[in-house]
Structure 1
Amino acid sequence: MKSFDLEGYLSSGVEQVIAGIMKATAKNPKESLFLIQYLRDSRKASRIRRAHADNGEHIPPFLIASITTQCNLHCRGCYARANHSCQDGIDLKHPMLRADAWGEIFRQAAELGIAFILLAGGEPFLRLDVLEQAALHKNILFPVFTNGTMLTEDSLALLSRSRNLVPVLSIEGNESTTDLRRGSGVYQMLVRSMKRLNEKGIVFAASVTVTKENLAETLSEDFVAALAEQGCKGIVYVEYVPIDAATKAQALDDVTRADMMNRLNTLREYREDMVLLAFPGDERGSGGCLAAGRGFFHINAFGGAEPCPFSPYSDVNVAAIGLREAMKSPLFVRLRESRNLEAEHIGGCVLFEQEQEVRKMLEESHDNQGTNCR
């Protein structure tokens, strides 16, 4: 039986996403010019990763980087606050990575052929210094997942001149649904932010955390059309990860996940003006979860390399040993070699449900530096 070509699968996925973005932004000259060059850079990155793969070294095309622990909102069911990776104030005992350290990580990523780095937090627009570093690396696309409430004139100017930074605004549905989870008045702030972005010709997308409660609403034709009317060029549907037993009922199961994908595929048939994505997506088609370096891994605000944002455990620090060495994390290797990434699960993260297993692997790692390597 022919072995699964993970590198080919991932590179094909990257090209499909880029093609979708190019189609959705065809009427935006500045974005089109950037994307033509980025497509060339992405194909070069794919060749770099393929060369590494031919030498027995797998390099994922994606990274997720949480560049700050701070956030100005307190959203209901927030996994980042639940696992204490998001907080109020600054922990002076454990300083976050400086902007130049992030710049070095981005440089190493480009050299290795990593073409997408998702920036998150906390609220990433609280770290304009890091976003300015990201903007310098035009051969990497940086979707910036934001709550949309911190877009200042300075940040809008940065986005306008840096087409590789794409703001992705979090929304939960209509006004009442969004404000219920994110706080009173947040929906209207999002509407104003979208208007400002659209007026300045800045390409932006939206992110929806999908639960059983908002699935029908957020995957409806009316909801998608309303966002398109605001100028939104894409939606990332992220499956909700329960933070405790009490919220588990909100997470998608096999039936509702299939419903989500069916609705999404229907929307894709006639919304060619938008890029519609699901995360984590088709795990069966990719041979299991893509975390722990199969398709991506997560770097926390202190530089710790983690399997994914929902599994905040680390045994190596990227800033200390470099990106390439961090991919050889004993924890990552154990997870990839085990069957844990292929397990059935409820919600968007298989490793979140296997917390005890991951902790055990971390403890057994001879390079163990604690449960949140800084």
Structure 2
Amino acid sequence: MEFSSRLKRTSLIKFTTLALSLISSSSKENLIRLTRLAEKIPQKDSYRVKIEWIRELFQRDHPSLEIARRILRESNLKQREKLIHFLVNQFLEGTNRRKDFASRTGFYPPRAMLISPTMRCNLNCYGCYAGDYSRQGELETEEIHRILNEAEEMGIHLVVVLGGEPFLRKDLFEICKEHPRMIFHVFTHGGFLDEDTVEKIAHLGNVSPAISLEGYEAETDQRRGKGHFQKVMRGMVLLREAKVLFACSLTQTRENTDVLVSDDFIDFLIEKGAILIWYFMCLPVGRNPDIRWMPTPMQRDRLRQSLVRFRATKPILFVDFWNDGRLTHGCMAGGKMYFHINAQGDVEPCVFCHFASDNIKGKSFLEVLDSPFFREISSRQPYLENLLRPCMLIDRPEIGREMASWPGVYFTHPGVETFFTDLSGHIDQYAREYGTIANEVWEGFSQKGQGRVDGLASKPKGDRQIR
């Protein structure tokens, strides 16, 4: 059985390598033929549906084909090798491992893990919950290795590293090196991306930075400090020269929306070498929370509309944390598709939900992920039929308040209770105003019988995880 598994894995790696090499040089017609061959490999129907979805994108000359070619053209050999193994690990072997884990325990593991190995940061950005923390109480290196080993046993191969500033952890590269079957997507302010750091990233191959920006130099330096933007630009040059794939993480505020939804800015990031753009909203969950920085309901919907156009025209990937509920069937938190472990070991439903019922120190993954608290969250998802309103913090704030006060639940960040007390009236008003906009859009989708995802193709069905 073990020999058979190794043989199958080797065959899958060879096929994936061939497929990627064909993508980089083959005609559209040959790639369409390749998808028909690929449909014969997976045993799970949902994956065959996704392959059919990819074929539809190719047939429509969607920019996704150029995105795939950019990934191959702009990555180094080591990173491409790790990417191939990740695709096999996460979507083929990982699926079987997650199913096997579920059959043994009754719990279906999530696909990704978020972890903040430190909350320390050398910047002091307004609206951010990280900052002036000490090392005291941070997860030890050995504990992080134990966490990652248990995650891999469950079939989790994607680790999103947050903070704080992750590169302040001197053991970060050691940790990534010890887990070569995992991909580490590291969210960083970009200020530490010097020659030495980029060389280490390129050598490992399984580390991909996501660099935070607020827009151009004026917007970024306003929030992060004078001169920071130019440091980031230098880091991007080094990453591109080393052929390391990287993403950009954009925080939408009330002040920078015009820039973040402009074609010129997206083209600027593509030119700099970014392969993926994350969009987040500035929420009042950090130090000295100020509701005035939070985007208005109209601005949030403007971002959603902009991504419809971008996804149909730009050769770069997009993830919109709050507006992509139609892709994820609502909220992903609480172990449905991911969870967050903070630097103290508290296991939070989401990186923006600073409350927990368990700490990973001294407990197994199964104990903390299959807890009554996470099960309660999972049982309520999606919180509304309208998947444009997926979030229990800002779309269904009454649920967020209920979960934050659930028996045994405690706050994990100083002052976060302000969000649920002093600011609750503002958040409720926001939810009502955005709800009016989103409900009108959703009704339009329903009237058209629209089975399409904004700017993409028909949404793949049959892939929602069920406990």
- Residue identity opposite 1:72 in structure 2: N
Rg comparison, structure with higher value: 2
**Residues 1:372 and 2:412 aligned together:** yes
Runs of 4+ in 1 over 6 A off after TM superposition: 18-21, 343-348
Provide, for residues 133-156 of structure 1, a one-character-per-residue CA deviation record: whole Å limited to 9, x for no partner: 123323222110000012244422
Rounded Cα–Cα distance in structure 2 between residues aligned with 1:54 and 1:63: 21
Rounded Cα–Cα distance in structure 1 between residues aligned with 2:255 and 2:378: 33
Over 3 Å counting, the alpha-carbon distance change for 1:114 and 1:246 in structure 2 is closer
TM-score by length of 2: 0.67
- Structure 2 residues without counterparts, runs of 5 or longer: 1-44, 55-63, 414-467
Aligned equivalent of 1:24:
70
Aligned equivalent of 2:228:
186
Rounded Cα–Cα distance in structure 2 between residues aligned with 1:100 and 1:251: 38
Identity %: 29
- Residue identity opposite 2:71 in structure 1: T
- Residue identity opposite 1:32 in structure 2: R
Aligned equivalent of 1:57:
107
**Residues 1:148 and 2:186 aligned together:** no
- Give the deviation of 1:328 after TM superposition: 1.6
Over 3 Å counting, the alpha-carbon distance change for 1:347 and 1:169 in structure 2 is farther
Provide, for residues 29-60 of structure 1, a one-character-per-residue CA deviation record: whole Å limited to 9, x for no partner: 41333322221112211222233445631211
Q: Answer yes or no: is the 8 Å Cα contact 2:198–2:239 preserved in 1.
A: yes
Aligned equivalent of 1:110:
152
Aligned equivalent of 2:125:
75
- Residue identity opposite 2:282 in structure 1: Y
- Residue identity opposite 1:359 in structure 2: A
- Structure 1 residues without counterparts, runs of 5 or longer: 1-6, 81-85
- Give the deviation of 1:212 after TM superposition: 3.7
Over 3 Å counting, the alpha-carbon distance change for 1:178 and 1:160 in structure 2 is same
The count of residues paired between Structure 1 and Structure 2 equals 350
Q: Answer yes or no: is the 8 Å Cα contact 2:325–2:389 preserved in 1.
A: no
Aligned equivalent of 1:360:
405
Q: Answer yes or no: is the 8 Å Cα contact 2:110–2:156 preserved in 1.
A: yes
Aligned equivalent of 2:89:
41
Over 3 Å counting, the alpha-carbon distance change for 1:40 and 1:71 in structure 2 is same
CA-based RMSD of the aligned residues comes to 3.2
Aligned equivalent of 1:260:
303
- Give the deviation of 1:89 after TM superposition: 4.6
1:169 maps to which of 211, 225, 229: 211
Q: Aligned to 2:405, what secondary structure does the other structure show?
A: helix
Q: Answer yes or no: is the 8 Å Cα contact 1:242–1:248 preserved in 2.
A: yes
Provide, for residues 281-316 of structure 1, a one-character-per-residue CA deviation record: whole Å limited to 9, x for no partner: 422553431111111111010111111121111221
Q: Answer yes or no: is the 8 Å Cα contact 2:121–2:165 preserved in 1.
A: yes
Over 3 Å counting, the alpha-carbon distance change for 1:316 and 1:89 in structure 2 is closer
Equivalent residues in 2 for 1:133-282 (5 A)? Answer: 133-243=175-285, 247-252=290-295, 255-272=298-315, 274-282=316-324
Q: Answer yes or no: is the 8 Å Cα contact 1:22–1:32 preserved in 2.
A: no
Q: Answer yes or no: is the 8 Å Cα contact 1:20–1:275 preserved in 2.
A: no
Rounded Cα–Cα distance in structure 2 between residues aligned with 1:87 and 1:192: 24
Equivalent residues in 2 for 1:283-362 (5 A)? Answer: 283-284=325-326, 286-338=328-380, 341-342=383-384, 349-351=391-393, 353=397, 356-361=401-406
Query: Which shifted more, 218-227 or 241-250?
Result: 241-250
Aligned equivalent of 1:4:
none
Over 3 Å counting, the alpha-carbon distance change for 1:262 and 1:300 in structure 2 is same
Rounded Cα–Cα distance in structure 2 between residues aligned with 1:278 and 1:254: 15
Rounded Cα–Cα distance in structure 2 between residues aligned with 1:306 and 1:324: 14
TM-score by length of 1: 0.83
Over 3 Å counting, the alpha-carbon distance change for 1:257 and 1:241 in structure 2 is same
Q: Answer yes or no: is the 8 Å Cα contact 1:171–1:207 preserved in 2.
A: yes
Provide, for residues 319-362 of structure 1, a one-character-per-residue CA deviation record: whole Å limited to 9, x for no partner: 3112222102232122223468549999995336455323320x
